[in-house]
């Protein structure tokens, strides 16, 4: 079994200790950093499988760290945000974080998020390699096995969750995809976050595939229900 290394960057020491304790009970290897500088150094040394990143940190803010880590790695990043800071959640997701938890959170919730965000590591390790599926819709052509996407013939880089979303849409063209269904297909049944994460990912996919992301032609909203992929 491969070792799963989690890096926890959190300056509240009791919280960091409690997270470490609970993650270790689940069998993860855990490193803790209490500030931005140590966090960045450990990130580079340790090459973690997943990062839990507090937004409010001494030395380097969590948002800046998120941007720096994302510039060199695809590692899943879960932001830890303060309860009232909607702006931080969205900013974190837009900088490339995969998910967030809001303080105060239960350890059960945190562990569920960690598991859900590690699921895609299994996918990268080759479960999908035998999949010869080619999907097409509108300007998009997607090769599931090769993990390649083109839009009007030009290669486009999608992050893992964006890719999984697009696969779900292309496999179900013309059908209503409710938010619940998308979340359970892409993030897993045990995900119990809100739908902001989904909406930010939809926005990112639109930016990459739509001629005019503000007026989507392919990945359209079905008001009050969810989304639908149409090939016009």
Binding site residues, Ca ion, CB under 5 A = 11, 54, 56
- Cβ atoms of 119 and 188 within 8 Å: the answer is yes
CB of 35: closest distance to Ca ion in angstroms? Answer: 10
- Cβ atoms of 115 and 28 within 8 Å: the answer is no
Give 89 or 201: the residue with its C-beta nearer to Ca ion: 89
Tell me the sheet residues that pair with 151: 140, 154
60 DSSP assignment: S
CB of 110: closest distance to Ca ion in angstroms? Answer: 15
CB of 159: closest distance to Ca ion in angstroms? Answer: 26
User: Angle at CA 90, nearest 5°, toward 11 and 151?
Assistant: 125
Give 56 or 151: the residue with its C-beta nearer to Ca ion: 56
Give 65 or 219: the residue with its C-beta nearer to Ca ion: 65
Q: How far is CA 153 from CA 74, 90, 137, 140, in A?
A: 24, 31, 12, 8
CB of 230: closest distance to Ca ion in angstroms? Answer: 44
CB of 55: closest distance to Ca ion in angstroms? Answer: 7
Rounded distance, CA 137 to CA 169, Å? 9
Give 102 or 183: the residue with its C-beta nearer to Ca ion: 102
Rg over alpha carbons for the chain, rounded to the nearest Å, is: 18
Give 58 or 211: the residue with its C-beta nearer to Ca ion: 58
Task: Give the residue nearest to Ca ion (CB).
Answer: 56
């Amino acid at each position: 079994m491969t070792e799963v290394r989690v890096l926890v960057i959190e300056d509240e020491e009791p919280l960091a200790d409690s997270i470490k304790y609970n993650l270790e009970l689940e069998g993860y290897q855990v490193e803790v950093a209490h500030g931005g500088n140590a966090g960045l150094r450990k990130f580079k040394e340790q090459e973690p499988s997943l990062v839990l990143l507090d937004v409010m940190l001494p030395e380097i803010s969590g948002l800046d760290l998120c941007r720096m880590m994302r510039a060199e790695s695809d590692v899943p990043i879960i932001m830890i945000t303060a309860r009232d800071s909607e702006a931080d959640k969205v900013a974190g997701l837009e900088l490339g974080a995969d998910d967030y938890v809001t303080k105060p959170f239960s350890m059960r919730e945190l562990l569920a998020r960690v598991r859900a965000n590690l699921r895609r590591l299994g996918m990268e390790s080759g479960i999908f390699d035998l999949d010869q599926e080619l999907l097409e819709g509108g300007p998009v052509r997607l090769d599931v096995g090769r993990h390649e996407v083109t839009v009007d013939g030009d290669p486009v880089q999608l992050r893992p969750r964006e890719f999984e979303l697009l696969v779900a849409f292309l496999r179900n063209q013309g059908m209503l995809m409710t938010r619940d269904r998308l979340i359970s297909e892409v993030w897993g049944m045990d995900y119990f976050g809100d739908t902001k994460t989904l909406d930010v990912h939809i926005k990112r996919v639109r930016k990459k595939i739509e001629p005019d992301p503000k007026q989507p032609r392919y990945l359209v909203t079905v008001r009050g229900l969810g989304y639908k992929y149409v090939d016009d």
